[in-house]
């Protein structure tokens, strides 16, 4: 992936930029995109600060072009793993069904870290999608209950993501998620629903717990920002072994999760 800042040249293919999604996912991921998608990510600027051994990075980016990039997460193994809890009448709530990156947008990547033997080690990374317009990244959440021996989805929600936060840790890593709005999947698109969604989003940010992610994905985000800080011309993601790629024409954005 090309890391050189540019204003007008061809950017980074959206598929390459978002390759970290299957890497952070602890479950299998199926990727769909439009055959005629023109989405490209352009790194606009990179600013660095150093105070003794403390370092900071601030990188702005812009997404241009049309199309969408859809990641569907297969939660079936997680659901089966909780079979005994379902039999006791418990539900499994707020599973991540899909992540969609649609249209254009802008944002920034900020990171904090230290220099160790002259090399950067980032400790905290923030990817913020709140740019000029609404965030281009949306996720679908759903809950599952057992009815007459069958798993049934309910309480399906669509959530607009504003920020993802990653922290270096020796423990099992978790990602902090901040949201702009939360709506029911079936809610119509109008000003009233937008207002209610924004209010729910503000409340959700107070109670959303950090999300468990794969260690390789957490590390790769830290490594990416270290590469940008070091002004490396390119960065290569490790292979995502849980990824299945499907290039298709437009598909429904609603996903059951199975």
- Provide the residue ranges of all domains of the chain, joining segments of one domain with +: 20-243
Task: Determine the 3-state secondary structure of 201 from DSSP.
Answer: helix
Name the pLDDT band for 91 (thresholds 50, 70, 90). confident
Q: What is the pLDDT of residue 68?
A: 86
- 186: pLDDT strictly greater than 80: no
pLDDT at 253 over 50: no
pLDDT in tens, 118-137: 899 999 999 999 877 778 88
| More confident position, 50 or 35 | 50
16, β-bridge pairs: none
3-state secondary structure (DSSP) of residue 52: coil
Q: What is the pLDDT of residues 36-86, one digit of tens each?
A: 788 899 999 999 999 989 999 999 999 988 888 888 988 888 888 888 888
Report yes or no: 143 and 155 within 8 Å, Cβ to Cβ.
yes
**Cα–Cα dist 114/112, whole Å:** 7
Tell me the C-alpha distance between 247 and 245, whole Å.
7
Cα(220)–Cα(25) distance, integer angstroms: 12
Q: Is the pTM of this model over 0.85?
A: no
pLDDT tens, 196-234?
A: 667 776 766 665 778 889 999 999 999 999 999 999 988
pLDDT greater than 80 at residue 10: no
pLDDT at 138: 87
> In angstroms, what CA-CA distances link 215 with 94, 96, 154, 243?
21, 18, 30, 16
What confidence tens digit (pLDDT) does each residue in 94-120 have?
788 888 888 888 999 999 999 999 899
Torsion angle of the four alpha carbons 41, 45, 49, 53, in this order, in degrees rounded to the nearest 10: 40
- What count of other Cβ atoms lies within 10 Å of the Cβ of residue 186? 9
Distance CA 132, CA 102 (A): 15
């Amino acid at each position: 992936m090309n890391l050189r800042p540019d204003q007008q040249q061809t950017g980074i293919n959206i598929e390459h930029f978002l390759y970290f999604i299957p890497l952070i996912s602890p479950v299998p991921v199926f990727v769909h995109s439009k055959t005629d998608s023109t989405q490209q990510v352009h790194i606009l600027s990179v600013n660095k600060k150093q105070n003794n051994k403390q370092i900071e990075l601030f990188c702005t980016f812009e997404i241009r072009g049309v199309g969408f990039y859809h990641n569907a997460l297969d939660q079936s193994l997680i659901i089966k793993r909780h079979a005994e809890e379902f039999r006791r009448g418990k539900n499994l709530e707020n599973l991540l069904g899909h992540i969609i990156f649609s249209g254009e947008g802008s944002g920034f990547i900020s990171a904090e870290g230290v220099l160790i033997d002259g090399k950067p080690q980032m400790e905290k990374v923030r990817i913020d999608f709140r740019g000029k317009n609404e965030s281009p990244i949306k996720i679908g959440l759903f809950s599952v209950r057992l009815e007459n021996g069958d798993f049934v989805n309910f309480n399906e929600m669509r959530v607009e993501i504003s920020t993802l936060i990653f922290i270096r840790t020796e423990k099992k890593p978790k990602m902090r998620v901040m949201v702009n709005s939360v709506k029911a999947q079936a809610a119509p698109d109008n000003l009233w629903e937008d207002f209610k969604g924004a209010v729910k989003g503000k409340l959700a940010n107070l109670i959303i717990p950090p999300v468990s992610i794969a260690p390789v994905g957490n590390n790769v985000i830290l490594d990416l920002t270290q590469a940008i800080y070091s002004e490396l011309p390119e960065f290569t993601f490790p292979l995502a072994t849980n990824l299945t790629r499907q290039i298709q024409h437009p598909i429904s954005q609603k996903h059951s999760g199975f």
